Structure 1
Amino acid sequence: MSDQAYLSLEKLTLAYGDSVAVADLDLDIRRGELIALLGPSGCGKTTTMRAIAGLLPVRSGHVRLDGADITHVSPNKRAVGLVFQSYALFPHLSVYENVAFGLRLKGLRGTELDAKVQSGIKSVGLSSFANRRPAELSGGQQQRVALARSMVMEPKVLLLDEPLSNLDARLRLEMRTELQRVQKETGVTMIFVTHDQAEALALADRIVVMKRGAIEQIGSPQDIYNRPQSSFVADFVGFENVFALEGGKLKAAGSLFELQGEAPSAAGLAWRPRMVSLGTGPFRGTVRGTSFAGDHREYLLDTPLGLIKAEVEASQPVHDLGTELAFDLPAHKAVPLSQFS
């Protein structure tokens, strides 16, 4: 474990029967960080979280927390909290009793128990809802109860499994703010699992992008969004025009295409739709789809390079389906990729 690591995963290999889900994973997390494990379904992010919580046995490697090896420590002795996607609240218990449940198991009673429960409920803004049951709460309020229930246990690490996926768009935004506030006020080390890149970008101090049981890239939200290192990460964070490079030319649809301007030395290049120049350039394509998106309009072009997605300001003239247009993929706007697969 590095000197700065508070939670360290060392050569972690996890499996379900004979099927290896995560292989030789190394990850160091600092005290007080808010980390996102980001990736598509089946990439190993939830499996990794379950191993940290002690809910999945480790085939090989180590999990170390605050200087101690907890690889084979039982879940209830790890000082690790877990907020499930389904919240897992007791439907017959009030908000107060849901939050108090774990503390009662630890033997707390009387004024000490009451003080901790009241403080936990207050920290998530639900003091006036203490006597309500889960069925009487909104999805966002239920999520807050689940968060308070974990936080009153004073975990060293708090794990959240797709914490916002069951909420509508407005509540999701509110809960992002709530999670950030609670995390910064308490200083708890927090790891959340998500497949939503916007959620990871908005919340995390660092993002761990996973693919097929391995880490594809680690970085700040700005690094991941602006400087993806591989074609997989680029595609996952919205670079919808991604191509391999061969001899300084784009390789697409079994052919090579010249770029205007000098291509950087890289395995591939990526452009976001807004980086595509529409209406001028050496390439041509036919409009196969168009949609209005508020301040911009999106176009899907059928081209010799394959499908190209472009965005232009909504104030520009509209191009109808079937229109043939010139376009360019400016080399100076492209993001170079060190890995292409």
Structure 2
Amino acid sequence: MSDASFLSLEKLTLAYGDTVAVKDLDLSIRKGELVAFLGPSGCGKTTTMRSIAGLLTPASGRISLDGVDITRVSANKRSVGLVFQSYALFPHLSVFENVAFGLRLKKQPANDIETRVTAGLKSVGLSKFATRKPAELSGGQQQRVALARSMVMEPKVLLLDEPLSNLDARLRLEMRTELQRVQKETGVTMIFVTHDQGEALSLADRIVVMLNGAIEQIGTPEDIYNRPVSRFVADFVGFENIFAAEGGKLKAANGPISLSESLPPDTAGLAWRPRMVTLGSGPFQGTVRGASFSGSTREYLLDTPLGAIKAEEDAGLVAHQPGTELTFDLPVAKAARLERFG
């Protein structure tokens, strides 16, 4: 991952007719990096991926790959592979022929096709399934065929559109491991689009969080999960107690609330996950509105002067019943400090 601009998007603006989907987007991706585009539907992540693939011509801006401007290069000449959400396998062809399809279109020598397809199937653990048809495979196996089909073309960048969304929970976990293994072993630069934060956190080297056609935050999974910079990112990764800050105090419905520690003047807000809330001690008072058992923990909803507060405790502790008055604290040291709140 030495080259910080192996794939570079510069001031990229993408539109469908008069509707701008992505505006002035700047992004650099390193060679060999596994990057997730994460965000809700309509945020621009799939549109950005389509432009990298050559399926959507930018309204303005530049796309460079390995030092070459590919902004106006046709999709079939970009050295960019694309694995579709639907897999797009040919039902009448065997696994071997599905993987060989692109190579045959390029009129590669038969010996080369045999070698590359055999190696591709081995890399995804499907050597024994070469003669089967797609209908004879599980969803996870079909996904691996689609992955091998793109990999044998030796792309410089491999794009995956919601690659695990069609799989059940067990298969999703297996395919996460498979994708990581294939990416690390081959060193291919890989970008995948997802709305699933767990998928992005578990797979990516870096995550690009998008909203309304713009980048909200770029960082490692640890950065995104523990240090969100905006209200949107904090909410998206599970910080359920989020407050604006002004003048070193929290802004609450009943007026500003002082905290036990002073805040830097540029703090736009603070956010706490439910498990970060301390119950049974602290300067604040609340009433338990609801409680729910979730296996190893109990979750509580409190009515407080700050508004609704969600808290979580170990299930082995004594349960707090609805209607109970509780003291609690929002420790500033545990909070994520937000740079933007709008």
Task: Quickly name the TM-score band, shorter chain normalised.
Answer: over 0.9
Contact persistence 2:274–2:310 (CA under 8 A): yes
1:93-172 correspondence to structure 2 within 5 Å? 93-172=93-172
1:225 corresponds in structure 2 to 225
1:314 corresponds in structure 2 to 315
State how far apart, in whole Å, the 1-side matches of 2:307 and 2:169 are. Answer: 33
Contact persistence 1:7–1:63 (CA under 8 A): yes
Deviation at 1:109, TM superposition (A): 4.0
Amino acid at match of 1:43: C
1:283 corresponds in structure 2 to 284
State how far apart, in whole Å, the 2-side matches of 1:202 and 1:117 are. Answer: 29
Contact persistence 2:3–2:30 (CA under 8 A): no
1:324 corresponds in structure 2 to 325
Give the alignment's TM-score, normalised by structure 1.
0.96
Deviation at 1:305, TM superposition (A): 1.9
Deviation at 1:262, TM superposition (A): 2.6
What secondary structure, in the 3-state scheme, does the structure 1 residue paired with 2:222 have? helix
1:251 corresponds in structure 2 to 251
Deviation at 1:165, TM superposition (A): 1.1
Deviation at 1:170, TM superposition (A): 1.3
State how far apart, in whole Å, the 2-side matches of 1:288 and 1:161 are. Answer: 41
**Structure 1 stretches of 4+ moved >6 Å:** none
State how far apart, in whole Å, the 1-side matches of 2:339 and 2:254 are. Answer: 21
State how far apart, in whole Å, the 2-side matches of 1:262 and 1:12 are. Answer: 40
State how far apart, in whole Å, the 2-side matches of 1:201 and 1:310 are. Answer: 23
Amino acid at match of 1:283: F
State how far apart, in whole Å, the 2-side matches of 1:226 and 1:136 are. Answer: 43
Deviation at 1:173, TM superposition (A): 1.1
Deviation at 1:254, TM superposition (A): 5.5
State how far apart, in whole Å, the 1-side matches of 2:14 and 2:27 are. Answer: 14
Deviation at 1:330, TM superposition (A): 1.4
Tell me whether 1:86 sits opposite 2:81 in the alignment. no
Tell me whether 1:304 sits opposite 2:305 in the alignment. yes
CA offset digits 1:99-131 (Å, max 9, x no partner):
011111010242221111111111100111111
Deviation at 1:225, TM superposition (A): 1.3
State how far apart, in whole Å, the 2-side matches of 1:248 and 1:324 are. Answer: 27
Deviation at 1:320, TM superposition (A): 2.2
CA offset digits 1:73-123 (Å, max 9, x no partner):
111111100011111111121111110111110102422211111111111
Deviation at 1:329, TM superposition (A): 0.8
Amino acid at match of 2:105: L
2:207 corresponds in structure 1 to 207
Amino acid at match of 1:263: L
CA offset digits 1:11-31 (Å, max 9, x no partner):
000011111000000001111
What secondary structure, in the 3-state scheme, does the structure 1 residue paired with 2:281 have? strand
Contact persistence 1:264–1:336 (CA under 8 A): no
State how far apart, in whole Å, the 2-side matches of 1:252 and 1:145 are. Answer: 53
Contact persistence 1:161–1:193 (CA under 8 A): yes
Amino acid at match of 1:13: T
User: Quick one: structure 1 residues 227 and 53, their matched pair in 2 at CA, closer, same or farther if it must change by over 3 Å?
Assistant: same
State how far apart, in whole Å, the 2-side matches of 1:93 and 1:252 are. Answer: 62
CA offset digits 1:269-325 (Å, max 9, x no partner):
111111101122222223233222222111122223222111111111112233332
1:33 corresponds in structure 2 to 33
State how far apart, in whole Å, the 1-side matches of 2:178 and 2:211 are. Answer: 29
Deviation at 1:3, TM superposition (A): 6.5
1:58 corresponds in structure 2 to 58
Residue range with higher mean Cα deviation, 62-71 or 127-136: 127-136
Q: Structure 2 regions of 5+ residues with no counterpart?
A: none
Amino acid at match of 1:41: S
What secondary structure, in the 3-state scheme, does the structure 1 residue paired with 2:200 have? helix
Amino acid at match of 2:238: G
Aligned residues: 340
State how far apart, in whole Å, the 2-side matches of 1:261 and 1:24 are. Answer: 39
User: Quick one: structure 1 residues 204 and 87, their matched pair in 2 at CA, closer, same or farther if it must change by over 3 Å?
Assistant: same
Amino acid at match of 1:215: I
State how far apart, in whole Å, the 2-side matches of 1:148 and 1:322 are. Answer: 57
CA offset digits 1:122-146 (Å, max 9, x no partner):
1100111111111111111111011
Tell me whether 1:14 sits opposite 2:14 in the alignment. yes
State how far apart, in whole Å, the 2-side matches of 1:281 and 1:177 are. Answer: 43
Amino acid at match of 1:262: S
CA RMSD, 1 decimal: 1.5
State how far apart, in whole Å, the 1-side matches of 2:323 and 2:86 are. Answer: 46
State how far apart, in whole Å, the 2-side matches of 1:164 and 1:257 are. Answer: 44
Q: Percent identity?
A: 76
1:292 corresponds in structure 2 to 293
Deviation at 1:66, TM superposition (A): 0.8
State how far apart, in whole Å, the 1-side matches of 2:130 and 2:252 are. Answer: 60
State how far apart, in whole Å, the 1-side matches of 2:21 and 2:281 are. Answer: 47
1:273 corresponds in structure 2 to 274
